[in-house]
Chains A and B, each alone.
Chain A
Amino acid sequence: MYSKAFVEALEQKSCDIRGDILMMLKEAKSGHSGGSLSSVEILTALYFYKMKHNPMNPDWDGRDYFILSKGHVCPALYTALAHSGYFPREELKTLRKFGSRLQGHPHWLKLPGLETSSGSLGQGLSVANGMALALKLDKKPNRVYCLLGDGELQEGQIWEAAMTSAHYGLDNVCAIVDYNNLEIDGYVEEVMGIHPLVEKWLSFNWHVHECDGNDITSVIRALDHASQMKRKPSVIIAHTTKGKGVSFMEDVDLWHGKTPSPEQLEQALSQLDGACSVFKPWN
């Protein structure tokens, strides 16, 4: 269904984005590694395959909208935006620095390509609903995507919003859960379990799609499937690995809010090198 060359190009893009995330986090010396890395394929699939958008004209009203509810993984979003052409890749180096457009948590009034400001968890799905309701009022076909963390689902507001999307039949909303099993204090199931997740969304009257969230083909298949659904909102439960792509970060809670040292970066990039050959480091 999807050509091999196309899938390989997206895999290459994911690899490049991973490399840039690691480099910008090393530069910034603070920020969120684990959840950024787990969401790379999701963002790649959205920005380089699924979403209609125009980096030359970020305000284009024909665009689909992406709401990053788990704002702390903005390094992944910033990198996807830079690679799309919203701003120079060089600027990624300024993450979290004074005067930078790349705030520690995203602020839409500073950087083209961002749609909202986030960082306080639990609010993005409601915002997506408001946008989707407005699009319905205006009889517009644009879609609204919203990326949520699995720990974030512990926020009660998420479930208020889940009721709203279903109540108003917002089939133009697609929520994506980055189901990496970890939050700050440890495994989600140990901190405050969200299991059984599929059943929860089903009982809230959503279409539910599951995929391997670190496999491009699986993600784009789920996105294509979701966009065909009518009358109900769709959620994609994307099974991922926190810290994906870097052996010593994978599935380790400590890497949630930790950044690589220069030595660790080198080691991490060499692991990416093995997977993909084209990635070009800065400097």
Chain B
Amino acid sequence: MLMAEKMKDKKLEATRFGFAKALVELGKEDPNVVVMDADLAKSTLTKNFADVYPERFFDMGIAEQDMLSTAAGFAKMGKIPFACTYGVFVAGRAWDQIRTTICYGEFNVKIGGMHGGISVGPDGATHQALEELALMRVLPNMTVIVPCDTKEAYKATMASAKEIKGPVYLRFGREGVPILTTDEDPFVVGKANVMREGSDCAIIACGFMVGEALDAAKELEEEEGIKCRVVNIHTIKPIDKEAIIAAAKDCGCVVTAEEHQLAAGFGSAVAEVVCQNQPVPMKMVGISDRFGESGEPWELFEAFHITWKDIKKAVKEAVAMKKA
């Protein structure tokens, strides 16, 4: 089966919608919340905030470095600025501003990184953020969150302003993705959610790949009797070590899945915990050291080998390594 077919029956919504809804809500709750964008407000959906609170919305033009440092100035004065644009531009071009002015200065800046991952599709490699989680997670004082669906995106955005005093990077996607959680499901920053129980292999995933992990787990059980635990790690930094160690211990092998470069990304973050605390065989599904390209989102997932089928294959390999 092709991924496009599989996605047909699913109820989809892009995570940026949950983000935009939360921004408007935060704007109502807290007059200190301000929103900034770099000429992409219609795409990032910060326009929804701008329409309701125009006096607290600042378009900074196509000037990401200026936007991020200005955000630090807002935070210095007690505001809670959300600075938003595509992940490639904010994390790449303004990295030094984020590092030295925001993170070193411990300023309460929230960064909305849109168009994360290859699911950006037709815009191609220049717009597909595949390295930004690595760039952000190496920074001291930074919190990095990748919501798995629009509901988690809403909760993550609310939590980033209300529960975290300090810099936060939030990754959102352009494309509609399956809704996997409910309004009632818990969302605690830094705390993983187990989405399915199992003890043969742990699939640890973030963002969109959580859905792929669940699909893989379901088929593996039906087809091969392999029972997988699926762990959704929405907070990549600080990462939930306990949940990872428990998963590695209980299952004896681990597969990670991410819509990001394998090098220094999410799987690497999990591996840092596994190999130092509970070493078990590991396989990582993600982008292998190459740039993206144009295409339809699900077509690209197939081409770059980051579908549920690739996860299934990785699980079987990990289980075999465990037995060997």
Contact = CB atoms under 8 A, between A and B. Distances in A.
Given A134-B79, A137-B79, A116 B105 contact: yes
B96 interface: yes
A116 B77 contact: no
A163 B61 contact: yes
Contacts of B70: 126-127, 129-130, 133, 161, 164
B72 A116 contact: yes
Interface in A92-130: 107-109, 115-120, 122-124, 126-130
Interface string B62-77: 0101111111111111
Interface string B3-34: 00000000000000000000000000000001
B73 A128 contact: yes
Contacts of A131: 73-74, 76-77
A131 B63 CA distance: 18
A117 B69 contact: no
B76 A130 contact: yes
A129 B100 contact: no
Most chain A CB within a 10 A radius of its CB, from B56, B65, B67: B65
Interface of A: 107-109, 115-120, 122-124, 126-135, 137-138, 156-157, 160-161, 163-164, 167-168
B101 A123 contact: yes
B58 interface: yes
B299 interface: no
Interface string B40-72: 000000000000000110101101011111111
A120 B77 contact: no
A129 to B, nearest CB: 5
B72 A161 contact: no
Q: What is the predominant secondary structure among interface residues of chain A facing chain B?
A: helix
Contact of B69 (A126, A133, A163): A126
A117 B104 contact: yes
B72 A135 contact: no
B55 to A, nearest CB: 7
A157 B66 contact: yes
Contacts, number: 101
Contact of B66 (A108, A126, A135, A138): A126
Nearest to B71: A130
Given A117-B101, A130-B77, A157-B66, 7 more contacts: A116-B76, A120-B97, A126-B70, A127-B72, A127-B76, A130-B71, A137-B34
A134 B65 contact: no
Contacts of A129: 66, 70, 73
B27 to A, nearest CB: 13
Given A123-B97, A126-B73, A129-B73, A107 B104 contact: yes
B100 A119 contact: yes
A129 B81 CA distance: 13
A163 B106 CA distance: 26
A260 to B, nearest CB: 29
Contacts of B61: 160, 163-164, 167
A134 B69 contact: no
14 contacts: A116-B72, A118-B100, A118-B101, A120-B101, A127-B69, A130-B77, A132-B73, A133-B74, A134-B74, A134-B79, A137-B79, A156-B65, A161-B66, A164-B61
A117 to B, nearest CB: 5
Contacts of A137: 34, 55-56, 79
Contacts of B74: 130-131, 133-134
B238 to A, nearest CB: 20
